[in-house]
Amino acid sequence: MTTKKPTILILCTGNSCRSHIAEGILRKAAGDLLDVQSAGSKPAGYVHPLAIQVMNEIGIDISGHRSKPLSEFLDGKVETVITVCGNADQACPIFPGQVNRHHWPFYDPAHAEGTEAEKLQVFRRVRDEMRSVFEAYAAGRTDR
């Protein structure tokens, strides 16, 4: 008998950077136990190229990810929703229904300014912050 893996949905507004970084990290850390997905309330329609680049640097390929609307998941069974919107002025999406919820805010690296190298520094910093949080979450889930 196969049991369906619990779905973890990582939400952000644009579903172009942070949610994909988190999805990639959590899928690598616990994808054998969890069905990890991401979506946005106002999807940007693309995955940010610098997010793809900084994830490749740590051996995680998110180039096949796509920016998805939250509505794709409203009819499915979602066990846990994790929002990763960081700025207070952003409208973080709300997921209806009785689910476990976590709000772990991170700065949006898409707002980074400066040279390409300076932007990459911001993407790497956010990736590393997210990696610490999501690997710890995965470790807690695998200890169950």
CA dist., res. 79 & res. 5, Å (int): 10
17 flagged as catalytic = no
Q: Which of 9, 12, 47, 84 is catalytic?
A: 12
Q: Which of 85, 112, 122, 126 is catalytic?
A: 85
CB 13 within 8 A of CB 83: no
Residue type at 106 in one-letter notation: F
Give the DSSP H/E element, type plus range, for residue 38: strand 35-40
CA 48 to chain centre: 13
Active site residues: 12, 85, 92
